[in-house]
Structures are given as structure tokens and as C-alpha cells.
Amino acid sequence: MEADMNTETRGILESVRNGTLSVDEALEKLKAQPFADIGFAKVDLHRAIRQGVPEVVYAAGKTVDQILKILETMEENAQGNILITRLEKEPADQIGKVRKITYDANARIADTGTMPKPNGIGKIVVATGGTSDIPVAEEAALTAAFLGNEVVRLYDVGVAGLHRLLSQKEEIMRASVIIAIAGMEGALASVVAGLADCPVIAVPTSVGYGASFQGLSALLSMLNSCASGVSVVNIDNGFGAGYLASMINHMEAKK
Amino acid sequence: MEADMNTETRGILESVRNGTLSVDEALEKLKAQPFADIGFAKVDLHRAIRQGVPEVVYAAGKTVDQILKILETMEENAQGNILITRLEKEPADQIGKVRKITYDANARIADTGTMPKPNGIGKIVVATGGTSDIPVAEEAALTAAFLGNEVVRLYDVGVAGLHRLLSQKEEIMRASVIIAIAGMEGALASVVAGLADCPVIAVPTSVGYGASFQGLSALLSMLNSCASGVSVVNIDNGFGAGYLASMINHMEAKK
Amino acid sequence: MEADMNTETRGILESVRNGTLSVDEALEKLKAQPFADIGFAKVDLHRAIRQGVPEVVYAAGKTVDQILKILETMEENAQGNILITRLEKEPADQIGKVRKITYDANARIADTGTMPKPNGIGKIVVATGGTSDIPVAEEAALTAAFLGNEVVRLYDVGVAGLHRLLSQKEEIMRASVIIAIAGMEGALASVVAGLADCPVIAVPTSVGYGASFQGLSALLSMLNSCASGVSVVNIDNGFGAGYLASMINHMEAKK
Amino acid sequence: MEADMNTETRGILESVRNGTLSVDEALEKLKAQPFADIGFAKVDLHRAIRQGVPEVVYAAGKTVDQILKILETMEENAQGNILITRLEKEPADQIGKVRKITYDANARIADTGTMPKPNGIGKIVVATGGTSDIPVAEEAALTAAFLGNEVVRLYDVGVAGLHRLLSQKEEIMRASVIIAIAGMEGALASVVAGLADCPVIAVPTSVGYGASFQGLSALLSMLNSCASGVSVVNIDNGFGAGYLASMINHMEAKK
Amino acid sequence: MEADMNTETRGILESVRNGTLSVDEALEKLKAQPFADIGFAKVDLHRAIRQGVPEVVYAAGKTVDQILKILETMEENAQGNILITRLEKEPADQIGKVRKITYDANARIADTGTMPKPNGIGKIVVATGGTSDIPVAEEAALTAAFLGNEVVRLYDVGVAGLHRLLSQKEEIMRASVIIAIAGMEGALASVVAGLADCPVIAVPTSVGYGASFQGLSALLSMLNSCASGVSVVNIDNGFGAGYLASMINHMEAKK
Amino acid sequence: MEADMNTETRGILESVRNGTLSVDEALEKLKAQPFADIGFAKVDLHRAIRQGVPEVVYAAGKTVDQILKILETMEENAQGNILITRLEKEPADQIGKVRKITYDANARIADTGTMPKPNGIGKIVVATGGTSDIPVAEEAALTAAFLGNEVVRLYDVGVAGLHRLLSQKEEIMRASVIIAIAGMEGALASVVAGLADCPVIAVPTSVGYGASFQGLSALLSMLNSCASGVSVVNIDNGFGAGYLASMINHMEAKK
Amino acid sequence: MEADMNTETRGILESVRNGTLSVDEALEKLKAQPFADIGFAKVDLHRAIRQGVPEVVYAAGKTVDQILKILETMEENAQGNILITRLEKEPADQIGKVRKITYDANARIADTGTMPKPNGIGKIVVATGGTSDIPVAEEAALTAAFLGNEVVRLYDVGVAGLHRLLSQKEEIMRASVIIAIAGMEGALASVVAGLADCPVIAVPTSVGYGASFQGLSALLSMLNSCASGVSVVNIDNGFGAGYLASMINHMEAKK
Amino acid sequence: MEADMNTETRGILESVRNGTLSVDEALEKLKAQPFADIGFAKVDLHRAIRQGVPEVVYAAGKTVDQILKILETMEENAQGNILITRLEKEPADQIGKVRKITYDANARIADTGTMPKPNGIGKIVVATGGTSDIPVAEEAALTAAFLGNEVVRLYDVGVAGLHRLLSQKEEIMRASVIIAIAGMEGALASVVAGLADCPVIAVPTSVGYGASFQGLSALLSMLNSCASGVSVVNIDNGFGAGYLASMINHMEAKK
């Protein structure tokens, strides 16, 4: 985006030299913004054009009216493939009455477009410690799928029953990126990273009770992982993990 | 101890009935204390008689003079087998000038007696996540040995290199009790407990940096273990783990 | 479990040598898993066979459909004696319509089988500081009972009224294992461990208000117990305490 | 002090009415301060006159020069009986070269006057959980003694060996106020308050390691005491406890 | 209570000597408990007789049935003056249908007896920082009144408008004990203690938002008070403050 | 206010000298309070007269009856322009039935008077990181407007899309004071302060999830800002920021 | 600074139109940086020119060589009036050997220039709760003085002895801005803000012990201040408070 | 590694079938470990062979003797290119006397081999907020360089002076991976991630004071980053960031 801007700046300067642009017009253009200002939000309008990926709207803390206005603004600017995260069932139903969305209540994700074909380097493995971590895992998995990745789900492979995890060693060995999702003691990330040779994105979840302190235990555990190649995102941040995993899984396309 | 007291109470009452003991003497005896009061400390004098185990002196926060006075009081009461924990090298050297002790600088433990023969149900396995956890592990291992247990040491078997741990599966399967010691992410306890069928005593250590927060990360991780049979003692509390492990490893002798 | 695997591995190898098993079949068998993969969960199928104890399903965070599917999978694999923990009344009622369960709303525990006869070394004492700790205590007590232990309940014996606790000294002295359950200042564990000679499993509860910080106060207090033989499980983790107590109370059967 | 002021105000007003005091003089007097301003400190000069108790200088964070200047200012204002708290050995030695003080290195307290005769309602019991708590206890005990109280010391009576505490029941029953001092799990306050009928001032100490978190564990434990009549002062605040205990032990003299 | 016990023990011993009591009967009596065991609770039965004060039932975490059963047990033992704290409106209404209680919804306190005449040394001042602290203040004030104290209420005198507090200086000067109740920054306790010469019991409240962290801010502030004579009880613990204030306000009656 | 008091004191003293005021009357007047005591609250009555600004009632934790009584007391004392903050919709509706108020549900603010004309030094910029921060921002913006300031709103200019913020550089450069409001990582304050030359008041919000810990993350981030000129108010404290911004924006009027 | 840039941008554009600047030269100029890159630091070179204030170097974490190199770079760019904060005595001595600086060991501040004449709106009052807070206060006071402000110091006026603070009411009433500095309970900010009508910048200090938790108690207390007009900077951040106070005290000069 | 194992297992099985390996020999081989057990450590011996990368020894908490023994074991197993992290100057000097190492005191890193040629996809940018973050940055940069990456250093580009960062936009746009290192408010990661399109690895540092709480502030800030593509490693974990960045920068080589 910034690189484009540099090119654009040169163009503006050349127009000024050519006299096809006045100084005031140039000043105005240099301030032009790649987003639409609708008061309560500044909607990014360049991302899809630049990267061919769906736009993302974070629904938590926004009213249905605000979400609809953002969707409308995006579509007026020709952005049809939009991902809406952290969207609860009730607002999703209300939005569904007005425009066509595909909604997954478990992952709390909606999208307005069509699922792309996977075009990454390899597969992204999404693993969870338990069954209760699945909503976060689905947020990660659906995000990755929307961004053009093949996703392999390994659910309920927590370290307390190591044979469950070890039986999936081949999937783990073959992964391009692994998203390790766990609450409670959060040990899954370390064990998986010890088995694999690829980047492991650890997602602590707020699953648990007592001294799990809403995910703090898993968060600290993952940050302290002795295994190399592990990094951590926010508690329950399935979207962030899916997005980053896709970025890494598309590395070779870059440059 | 309390059971003995009950028997003792009956004896006193019977003496009162027999007239061999006055009411005032009985009152006095009922208040008699199984410890010596030396001002800055109340020294327990009954434990060795009752249980045949070494007495324990926690040296941290005590002056050399206080420790020597406690040792003296114990020996005056015929207690020769004493374990001194958390004893730094310098005070150990000073004590060593006055009386005969065996001192282990790594575990910061001294004892004044002789090592007993193991007489527990089985073996106690002491496992650590890394090399830096060894001082805590040695505190646990020496404590258990002093209390009459066979100890197996499995050091540096952290979960980030799972093959190191799995190569020791047989020792783990055969253990009567396991002490799992780890800092950083503290995942060792969960993984070990998932492999074993015996009680696992988890000891978080203050080893680590940054978000390990002096052992808090490992502590929370261990408290949240999804594996059954795990319980936790204080950060760096090798002695407590060794003592409890010995207690469990001597269960069959009880009753 | 792992010990069985070792035996099994030898058998497979001998079959390969005998030519009764091809290399590929052997490879397949070496990867065979002692659990059923039903997508959202990996159901352990070997525990009851190995240990004769009821299987455990942790219901929190699982839908009724998921729980029923897990129960079904277990029963298809001949496991009839199943313990379901952290099961709220409403899902319990829904499950009760489909299959026969015995449900205790106070302890939030259901089971599908019959209560076994106690066969442990001795008795497990479950003590609470107050009346509000009873739900956690019942989770511990019922778990221990399901696992074949005789349980003695000492409720509302908090240290602020020491005579209530001291009046139960004989039960405490006779215990094989004690589960000490308390919120607020959590001092019960230390006092009980000072009176008893057996392992004490401390369970902090989230009972209290203000500076109890949902059980943090009791948790820290118990971790810092000066009494020997105390270890701690997660806040409100009655099940974990009951399970570990049973393990310790069955020590002599092992080997 | 404020009551005196009220009387003083009336006096000033009457002088104005009588014409013996001009309005400006009266304004000046109404602003007169019961302390000396020496730049880095405002030294209170009225306390000893009002209450006959020693003045208190908190030495931590003050240079030797500052302390000496404060002492000088006090003595210029006829205050000879001064208590200096949190005074380390080195500055105490320096001060001792310049003026006559009595210094207790254990309690880190110095005083410049003579010890008064006890004149309180009853005795103040100072009890500690362990030997390491004694410096804090001596700070409390010496403070109380300086303020005219009879002090009974019960050291090393922690709850893990309940018989040590119970053997002192009579001293506890007879106390006018009890100061319960403990680190680690801090259970002493609750147990003592359950035995006694008088106010219990709980002092958490920073004694301990690991999850004691420099006294946080004992602090929370004491704040959550289920026993009635317990209140808490800052971690290691022996002075505050001794001062408050003296206040309570002199209640009947008031009015 | 314990003192009575001592007397009782002597009596029992004398009866044994006299032959009017058998050893077994004596043993039984020595174990007799000053409370009734009703399973979920151990109800204290001696307090009212000993001290003439109302019994206290802490209702939070107890069912209506449990509370009624406790009340019944107390009354069977001739204890008619009972204080019930932390009793919400709904259970209060249910209890009110079965037995006669006086209920204060603001303070969440009920009592079954009659209010005693004040018989303390002086007056107890209950001061709050704001209007929102009043429920906690009323818990303290009603508790103190039930225990025989004259109570002066100074509400909404927070330090941000110092003239409101200073206008009440005389009430503060005349107090025998002051209960200072505040949330948010909790500075009231320090300022009041600086003005007064009597013990100040500080009660942090959970009033506030954001960085008040449910009373933690006020709690820490009060624990760190630079003013002498301040001690602290748990967040929102109006009852504890009222009880302790009464104890101090009745000091002269003791001995 | 205090300055007025000084003048008043001189007047009273002069009246005493003149004999137009008795000593007792003077004493009474010196104690006269600039507020009305209505039991549950001490209502400030002098502020509007002194400063011409609206009075402020903090509604959280007050009943509708209490709020109405405070409004009534203020109006009896001729204070018509009152701001009510933290007022939820339901109590606002109830108050609206009794007296005329203007209510903004988003900012949870009501006022009883008319909006003044801006008379500050310059403009106050209110900037937010996201859309979810708007309620806090509106609390700040409306407060500032009520206090006579021109307010510029820059919403959804979080640092993750820096071009949105940079496009508003001119508004930021022209600001007299900036209120920077953000949850999550709270970086907005630092970046804005780096761009601007005026005081920046940072308001952390509780917007976010997981490791935002209800605003703690943003709070710490803002307190640690490397940019000069930043100070912080409580989490979600839009009112406090608006009030302080107005104070700074009216600096030149002072003296 | 940015405003200057805007003007500069227009100038560059006009030069391009005039042909006195090529497009490439313009591009280069648009990227020109107002700082010198010396590898380990990017030294800001425009501030003194723009604002006439001393440059600031934060010395903590920098080697003497790095500090000297930064000073040299600044002086090469004609910036002679430099303030160095958080400079310990030892590196100050080393720097003092190489170049002329004025060093204040108490405030840990050095400067290389001359003290300007005060030119602010009014006076800045710097108040501390105790004597130990003076180093932080001097950092604030010297910073403010270096930036052209008249500073009034009110030290040791903590709220526990309210008369000390009230005796300074007039200084407080006359202040343009107040910096309130306190550790422990941090109540000074609230009380001062209740007395004054000007902005109060609260600086929590790490002075204290135990539950002050290195300034956390004072920090939370100050953030929760009920008084209007208070904002908070980082613990011990005297520089930040002095800088912001100067900014506010120069408000009228702006525009 | 595990993939190799699979191949190895097949080979062993085929040898058994062929009769060239007995069952017992096969059992033995299946248990063979890819590491050397030297008591206090289990040294990994396969990594260099498998991946051609240097082995890593974490020196903190290890004695010089232990480190030397580990190095010796590695070299006996033909691993010559070893990276030693967290190695303080003193032990480095001691090791340097025995074997040839290259030591960087700033980054606390030593290596025993030669620096490889960069062979990654692109460049790794290492950016810091300030000068004090450089030691952590050098740990990251040297690790990345040792692992075959071209590294670009952008130091002291914190967000409080945004122009410093924006002047480096082109380096940021061209990066393959960015490591953003900052203490205090930690905002650098969010701003950089908003400018770039590549994965950003955030490293909080313990640089700062007061409310930075040894890196907690930066850690939380980074975890809460609103920018996509950000993940976080432990506080001060430069090595972990460098290792992960290298892994991502070598993605295309995989498969």
C-alpha cells in the first residue's frame, strides 16, 4: 500500500511539473485517503484491490446498523468478498434479512462472498487441546480457508492423552504452518512445536475455570514455550492466528 | 501424635480415679507439650520417636546461632537424624565447624545422620524439564532418599523434545510416585501424568525469564493440568514434593 | 497403558518374523490408536479395561449432542460405567430423557453405572471450611465413591471455630487421605495437615467475596502451607482431588 | 489536636472582641501551624505535649543528615522521647556517634528517651508463625512497649503444629489485644482469633518464597479471615500494629 | 469460651476423683462440643450465653432451607437474638413467611430479636466517601447497633470535597472508634485517621469502575495508609468492621 | 472556593471586632458549610456560582430517588444547569417523567440546562482508536461541550491503519488539547502525542477481549507512553478527560 | 513540527512548478528527516529551533559513549541547551570530564545550557506526600524550571497530617498547575485536587514497602481519584509531569 | 525428525522379516534415542544433520562445566556449528580459554562455527523502539544471521517520533519478515504491522520503569495489537524471534 503511494506521489509531482496539476490540487491529492470516512468508522477501501483477499469487519462492539453501513460502503467501492468476525447469532440473523451472508454460528463468522481455492505453499493444521476449544479453532480454520488455504483439523488432541496427538504425527510433520489452540495449561503448543519443523502459532483460549484465569494460564504457558518456532496471539484470537498462518503459507508468492 | 495423646489422656484419667494423680497434676499433664520452647522457636521433639523419620529444620531466615541452638535442643532430646533444608553454603560451612554434617551445596541440604535403606512401596521418579531445574530436583530427591525411598532421576526431559521423555517411558510406567519439576511453561507435569498411572507431584520452578514471572507461569500451568492425578506444591518447593512423595510411597505400611 | 503397548509391540514384531504379518500390516498396527476419533473428540476406549474404573466425561463446554455422542461411542466399545462431571441441571435433564443416568445436582455429577464397593487402603476424609464449600466437596466425595473408596464427610469445620475441627480429631487421625476444601483464607489445609499424618489434598474454592479474588486467596494460602504433606489442585476442582485421593488410597494394590 | 484547636479558635475570637488582638494578628494566628517546616520535612511538634507519647520518625528513604535535622528540630521544641523506625544498622551507627540513642538491630528501631511504665488495660500478645517473622514482631513489641504496654511474646506458634499454639491458650485468652504475625499462608490470625475474644491485629510478613509473592499470600489470607475481630495492616508493618494495639489497649483512659 | 472450658475440665476431673463420673463418661464429656452438628453446618451454641451478643449467620452461599434449619437449631438451644448477614431480598421474604424477622434490604441484614441499648465506651462513627458506599456502611452500622453501640453516620464525606469532611470534625474528634468506608481511591481512611486520635477501621468497597478493580485500588490504598491507627478489613466487609468496632468500643468492660 | 473562604473569614473577624457579631455567632459562621446535607449525600452548592459551570451528578450507584432529591436540592439553591453522568436508559426515563432533561443514551449523559457557547482557547480534539470506543468518546465530548468548548471528533483512527490517522494531521496540529481514547493496545495516545504539540489526555477503554483484561493493557500502555505531554485518566473515564481538557482549554482565562 | 512540514511541502511543490527543483530532488526533500541517524539512535534536531526548549536525552539504558555521541550530534546541529534525565552519578561524572554539564544528583538530571527565565501563565506547585518522594519531585521541578516555569515546592505535606497541607492552602489556590507526588496510599492528589481549581498532575512514586507494590498502590489510587481535574503519569515519572505542567502553563502563548 | 523415524521404522521391520535382525535387537533399535544422555542434560544430536542449522545451547542456569561438557558431546557427534545464547561475559571468557568461540557481549551470544551465507526468501528487518532495546535486537539479529538470513537493522524508531519510523517505510515495505522490539508502551509492533504486509514478530522488552512492570506493559500491548499479522514471543526473547523469523524466511525451501 505504501509502495503504491510512493509511485502515486511521483506521478503527482510530475503532473505539477507538467502544469497539468496546480499546487493546490496536488496538495489535496497528497492528502487523499484510501478509505471512506462514515463518521463512526473509517472504512479501508484498498485492501481487496491490492491483495485479492476478503475485507474483514470486526463485529464486536458495533451495532447492526453500523455493520450494515460499513458493508454498504465497501460494496459501493466494489468490494464484494467480506469476512465478518465475532458476529453473534442475533445480529447475524438481522443482517441476514437485509443482505446475503453465509453464517457459521460456532465460529461466529459470516462472509458475503465465495470461498476461494487454496493457493498456499502447503496445508495449515489447526489443532485443539479439547472439544471446548473448537469455536476458536473454527474461527481460525474458516479465516484461513477464506484466505485461500487448505486446512486440516486435529481436534481434542491435548497432551494429557499423548497417544491421541502422537497418532497424528504425520499430519503434523507435513504441515506448512500449525495453529495450536488450547486453554487450561496450554501445553499443546510446546509439544506440537517439539514434533514439527514449521512455525507454530499458539492461541490460548479462555476455556477452563479457577486458576486458568480466563486464559491467562494458557497465555503465559505458551509465551514461555521452550520449543523454537512458537509465537502467540491474543486469548481466543482465532482470526488473528488464521490470518497470520495464511500470510506465512503464502510466503513464496511474495516479492 | 494425636492418637497417642488420646491414649495418654485415658491413662491420666485412670490415674486420677486411682488417686495416684491429683487433679492439679492431671491438669498440668494434660497441658504438657511435645516440644521444647527455646524462645525464638518451639522445637518439635516427638516426630522421630513416632515415625522414625529425620526431623527437618528450615534454615532460610534463621541465623547460624538459631540453627545450632535448635540442633542442640533436638539432640538433647535424643534426635540424631536431622535434615536441614534451604541452607546456603556460608552458614553450612559455619555449622560444619561446630558439628558433623553432610552438606549438598546444589540442593542446599544438610543432614546430621545416616542415609536409611529404602523401604517404600516402589520407586520415586524425579523428572526435570531442563538442566536449570536440577537444584530443586536434588532437594526433592535427597529429601526422598533421607526418608527411605529409592529415587530415579530423569533430568532434562522437557516436552519441547518429546523423544527425550518418551525414551524414558518404562521408568515412568514403573514409578510409584513421580515428581515433575519444570519452570517456563511447566508442561512436563501434564505430559508425564498422561503417560503414567501413578500420582504426579508437580513442582513449578522459578527458572525462566520474562513472562515466566518467577515461576507463576509454570505454577498456573500445573494447576490447570488436564491430566488426572496431578497436584501441585509451591514454586521451588523440592522438599515438600519429596516429603509428600515419600508419604505416598509408604502408604501400604500405614493402618 | 504404555506397558501393554510394549507387550503388544513385541507380539507384532514376532508376527512379522513368523511371516504371519506383512511389514505394511505391522506398520498399520503400530499406529493403531486406543481411542475413537469422532471429530470433535478423541474418546479414550482402553481405560476401563485396564483399570476397572469408570470413564470420565468433562461436560463443561460440550453440547448435549456432543456428550450423548461420546457416551454412545463409549458404550459401543463396552464401557458402561461412565462418570460425567460439571454437568448442569438443564443438560442433565435432556440427557436423562435419552439414557439412564443418576444425577446429583449439588455436585453436578452424573453416572451411568452402579456404585462400586470400597476397596481402598482406608477411608478418605472430605472436610470443608464452610457450608458454601459443600458443592465442591460433594464433587470430590462422589468421585471418590465412584472410584471405590469409603468417604467420611466433615463439613463446616473451618479454623475460625477450632473446636469444631478438634472435635473431629479422631476421624482426621484415622484417614488414609484427607481432602481439605476451603475458600476465603484457606487455612483449613494447613491446620488439618498439622493434625494428621497422611497426605492432604487441598482444594481452594471460589467461595468468598472481595479480596478472595475468586479463590486466589485460598489458592495462594494453600500453596504456601507450612505443613508437610500438602499439595494443591485447581480452584473448585473437586473431581481432581477425589481422583487423586482414590489413586493414593489404592497404592498398595499397585506393582 | 483538632479539639484543642477549637478551644484555641474561641480564645482568638474572644481576644479580637476584647481588642487585645488585631484582625490581622488573628488571621495570622488562625493559620499558625503545629509543626516546623524544615524544607524537606514538616516536623510535627504537638504530639508529645498532647498525648505524652514518643514522637515517631520513619527513617526509610531519609538520609542521616535529614534524620539528625528532624531530631534536632524536635528537641528544640522540647520533645525528648523519640522513636525512630526502619533504621538500618549503618545509619544507626552514624546517628549514635552524634547523639545518644538505644538501638535494636533486629527490630531496626532506635529511641532517644526512656521506656515508660505499662499503663494499658491489659497485656498485648505478640505471636508469630515462625522464627523468621521475629524482626517484624520485635518492631511491633518494642513499639508497644515504648507506648506504655506490657507485651507477651509467643514466637514460632504457627498452625502447622497446632499443639504449639494450643499450649499457649491461656496467654491468648488473657490478652487485651493480640498481634498475629505470619508469612507464607498467614493462617495464624484466623486460628488465634477463633480462640480469643479480643481484637486481633494481623500482620502479614514478606517471609516465604515462591507463591508467597513477598507477603501477598499472607495478606490475602488475613483479609479473608472468617474469624470475627480481625483486621489487617500492611505487610511487615510491625510499627503500625504495635501503635494500633496500644491505642486499643488504652481505650478506657479516653474521653 | 476456652476459659470456661478450662473450668469445665477441672470440674470433670474432680467428678472422676469423686467417683461420680466414670473414666469413659469423662472421656465423652471432654469431647463434648459447644455446637450442634446438623450435617451441612456446625452451629455454635455457646456464644450468646457467654457474651450476651446476638449470634451471626452468614447467609451468602446458603439455601433458605439451610438458613431455616440453622435458626431452628439455635432457637432449640435458647438463642433468640440472631443476626443474619448478606441476606438477599428474595430469601429474606421466604424466611419472613416462616418466622418473624426484621429485614433491612439496603444493608442485607435481618435479625430475629430486639435491638439492645448502647452500652459501649463511646460512639462509633461510620463515615463513607460517597453515596454508593452506603449499603456497606449500613451493614457496619446495623451490626454495631445490634451489638450495643451508639452509631453516628457521616455519609458522602469523600476527600475530593474536603470541606464536607472538615465540617464534621467535631463528630470525628469525639468518636471512640471510626469506620471509614470508601471505594475508588480509598483516601478517606488516611485523612480521617490524620484528624482523629482513635482507632480507624478502614473498609474498602467495590464501588467504582475501571482501575478500581472491584475494590483492589481502595484496599491497597488503605493498607498503605501513612496515618497511624488504621487497620483494614476485607472489601465490602461492613459486618467485620462493625463487629470489631464494637469489640474495641467495649474494651473497658473486659478483664 | 478556598480563596473566597479566606475573604469570608476576614469579614467575619471584622464583624466580631465591630461587635456586630457575637463570638458564638462567629464560631457558627466559621463552621458554615458550602453544601446541603441530605443524609445520603452532601450536595455542593457553590460551584456554579463560583465558576459558571454546570454541576455534575455521578449517577452510578445512586437510586432514582436519590438522584431526584439531589437535583431538587440543587435547584432549591438556584443551580439550574446540571450534568448527570453514567445514567443508564431506564433511570433516565424515570427521571425524564418528573423533570425536563436532555439525555444521550450512547454517552449515558443527561443535562438539565442549555448548552453554553464555546469560550475556550482553542478546539478540543476527541480521537478514538475504533468504533467501539465511541460511547466513552461521546461522554468526553459532551462533557467538554457542556463546559463551553468546541469539540472536533476523529473516530476510528487507530494506529493499525496509520493512514487514517495521518490524514487528520491538520486537525491534530490545530488542537488545543487532545483526548486520545483507545482500548486493546492503546497505542493511539503515543502516536498522537508524537504528532501534536499540545497536552494529550489518554483514556484507556475496556473495549477488547482476552489479554486486554478489561482495559488494563491499554492503561499500562498509555502510562508508559514515550511521548511527552501525555497523562492518563481511569479506564472508560470520558467525563474526567472532558473535564480536564476543558480546564486546560480555559487556562488563559485564569488568574 | 508537522505544521511547519505542511508549509515546507507547499514550498517544495512551488519550487517544482517553478522548475527550480527537479522531481527527484523534490522526492528526496519530501523524505528528508528532521533527525540524525547515528545507528543506535535517531537524534531529533528540530525541537529546539521550533520551540526554544531544551532537548531531552533519557540516559537510562544508554552507555556513556552513546550519550556523548548523542550530545555531540546535537551540538553539531546547533542545539546547546540539552536536558539529560535519569543520569546516575557515575556516568554523570564521566560525562562531566568531557563536557561542561550542571548535574543534580538528587534529581538525577544534568543540563548543558543555562536556566531560562520563567515565562509561563503562573506558578507550578510541586507537592510531595513525604520526604522520600523528593528525588522524583526534584526531577519534576528542575524539568519545569528548565522549560521556563516558576516553581513552588511544598514537600512533606501528606494527608495523614492534614494541617500541614491546609497551612499551604494559599499556595495551592494560586497555582496554575499542581504536580502532586506521593507513594504509599497516594491520597495527596485527590485532596489537593479537591482544594484547587487547576489541573493536577499526579505522580505515583515507588516509595513504600509491602502492599505498595513498588508504586502500584499509589498509581491505582491516583487513577481512581474522585476529584475532577486529575490525570496521572507513570510511577516515578517526574520528568513527564514537569514537561506536561510546563505545556499547560504555557497554554496562553499558543495559537 | 519424526519423518526420518518413520522411514527408519520401516527399515527395521524389513530387517526383522529378512531375519537379519532379531526381535530383541529390533526392540532395542526402536527405542534408540537421537540424543546423548550426559546426566544433567539430554543433548540433541540429530538437528544439524537433518537441517544444516547450528545447534543451540541456552546458557542461562548452566555452569561453565556443564556448557563445556555439552559442547564436547556435540562435537564428538560431529556437530561443529553451535550457537550459545544468554551467555554472560564471565563464563564466555572462561569458555573462550578452552575452545574457540566468537562472542558478542551486547547480544550475549557466542558461536563456535562460521557465519553462513544468507539463503532466505528476502530480508529480515529488526526494528527497535529505543536505544535500550538494542541488546535484545542484537540477539535476534545475530540468531537470524547465524541461521542464514540477511538482516536490516532499524534502531530507535519508536512511535513517539513517528517521522523516524516513516522515513524507513521503504525498508519496512520490502521486508520478508519484521521483528518489532520495544519496551514501555510497545506500540511499535502495531504501527509497523499497519505499514507492512508481511508477518511481524513482536518482542516486548523489559526496558522501562514503573508501570512497565518489567515488560508486562509491552507484552499486553503487543498481544492486543489491532493490526493483522502480528504474533508475540516472550519478553526479551530475541533468540526466539530470530529463529522464528528465519523459519518463515525459509518457507519456500520447504516441502
Share of chain E above pLDDT 90, in %: 62
Spatial distance between the Cα atoms of C107 and C86, rounded to a whole number of angstroms? 8
Whether the CB-CB separation of D208 and E197 falls below 8 Å is answered with no
For H124, the 3-state DSSP assignment is strand
Spatial distance between the Cα atoms of E201 and E224, rounded to a whole number of angstroms? 13
Q: Return mean pLDDT, chain E.
A: 87
Amino acid (1-letter code) at residue H222: M
Close Cβ partners of D225 (under 8 Å, ≥ 6 residues apart):
C160, C184, C185, D189, D190, D193, D202
How many helices and strands, by DSSP H and E, does chain H display?
A: 11, 11
Report the Cα F180 to chain-centroid distance in Å: 15
Over 70: is that where the pLDDT of C33 sits? no
pLDDT of A255: 44
Share of chain H above pLDDT 90, in %: 62
pLDDT band at H45 (very low <50, low <70, confident <90, very high): low
Of C10, C16, C19, the CB nearest to H13: C16
Whether the CB-CB separation of C189 and C179 falls below 8 Å is answered with no
Give D255: exposed, middle or buried? Use CB within 10 Å, 0-12, 13-18, 19+: exposed
Give E255: exposed, middle or buried? Use CB within 10 Å, 0-12, 13-18, 19+: exposed
pLDDT of C29: 64
Give the number of other CB atoms < 10 A from CB of residue G167: 18
pLDDT, mean of each 10-residue run, chain E (255 residues): 51 79 72 71 63 77 94 80 94 95 95 89 96 97 95 93 87 95 94 92 96 95 93 97 96 58
Over 90: is that where the pLDDT of B9 sits? no
Whether the CB-CB separation of D23 and D12 falls below 8 Å is answered with no
Q: Is the model more confident about B80 or about B100?
A: B100
Of A199, A219, A228, the CB nearest to H248: A199
pLDDT of C254: 44
Nearest-Cα residue of chain E relative to residue C183: E61
Decide if C27 and H19 are in contact by the 8 Å CB cutoff. no
D92-109 burial, b at 16+ Cβ within 10 Å, e below that, comes to beebeeeeebebbeebbb
Q: Which helix (H) or strand (E) holds H204?
A: strand H200-204
H42 CB within 8 Å of a chain B CB: yes
Q: Which residues of D touch C224 (CB under 8 A)?
A: 183-186, 208, 210-212, 217-218
G215 CB within 8 Å of a chain H CB: yes
User: 481405560: which residue's cell?
Assistant: C47
Question: How many angstroms separate the CA of residue F167 from the nearest CA in chain A?
Answer: 6
Amino acid (1-letter code) at residue H179: I
Of B84, B76, B2, B82, nearest in space to B36 by CA: B76
B–C contact (≥3 CB pairs within 8 Å)? Answer: yes
pLDDT of D29: 64
* pLDDT, tens digit (0-9, with 9 covering 90-100), for G218-247: 999 999 998 889 999 999 999 999 999 999
Q: Are strands E230-232 and E200-204 parallel, antiparallel or unpaired?
A: parallel
**Angle of the C2-18 helix axis to the H23-31 helix axis, nearest 10:** 140
Give the mean pLDDT of F9-37: 72
ipTM: 0.87
Spatial distance between the Cα atoms of A244 and H230, rounded to a whole number of angstroms? 7
Share of chain G above pLDDT 70, in %: 87
DSSP letter at B105 equals T
Close Cβ partners of G3 (under 8 Å, ≥ 6 residues apart):
F173
- List the grid coordinates of H212: 512497565
Give the mean pLDDT of F52-57: 74
C99 CB within 8 Å of a chain B CB: no
Of H37, C243, C47, nearest in space to B200 by CA: C243
For A92, the 3-state DSSP assignment is helix
H5-40 burial, b at 16+ Cβ within 10 Å, e below that, comes to beeebeebbeebbeeebebeebbeeeeeebbebbeb
Question: Torsions phi, psi of G210, nearest 5?
Answer: 55, -125
* pLDDT, tens digit (0-9, with 9 covering 90-100), for H141-199: 999 999 999 999 999 999 888 888 988 888 998 999 999 999 998 999 999 998 898 99
pLDDT of D48: 46
pLDDT band at G33 (very low <50, low <70, confident <90, very high): low
Decide if B122 and C232 are in contact by the 8 Å CB cutoff. no
Amino acid (1-letter code) at residue C23: V
Of C3, C56, C231, the CB nearest to B201: C231
pLDDT of D205: 97
Share of chain F above pLDDT 70, in %: 86
Decide if E41 and C164 are in contact by the 8 Å CB cutoff. no
E142 CB within 8 Å of a chain G CB: no
Over 60: is that where the pLDDT of F115 sits? yes
Spatial distance between the Cα atoms of A91 and E18, rounded to a whole number of angstroms? 85
pLDDT band at G213 (very low <50, low <70, confident <90, very high): very high
H26 CB within 8 Å of a chain C CB: yes
Interface of F with A in 150-189 (CB under 8 A): 155-157, 161, 163-164, 167
Q: Which residues of A touch H6 (CB under 8 A)?
A: 170
pLDDT band at F8 (very low <50, low <70, confident <90, very high): low
Give F79: exposed, middle or buried? Use CB within 10 Å, 0-12, 13-18, 19+: buried
Over 90: is that where the pLDDT of F209 sits? yes
Alpha helix ranges (H) inside G99-187: 134-146, 162-166, 169-174
Give B6: exposed, middle or buried? Use CB within 10 Å, 0-12, 13-18, 19+: middle
Decide if B132 and H60 are in contact by the 8 Å CB cutoff. yes
Spatial distance between the Cα atoms of A206 and A216, rounded to a whole number of angstroms? 8
Over 80: is that where the pLDDT of D79 sits? no
* pLDDT, tens digit (0-9, with 9 covering 90-100), for D186-222: 999 999 998 898 999 999 999 999 999 999 999 999 9
C242 CB within 8 Å of a chain E CB: no
Amino acid (1-letter code) at residue D47: R
Q: Return mean pLDDT, chain G.
A: 87
Across C40-49, C71-80, H150-159, H169-178, least confident range: C40-49
Decide if F173 and G233 are in contact by the 8 Å CB cutoff. no
pLDDT of A42: 83
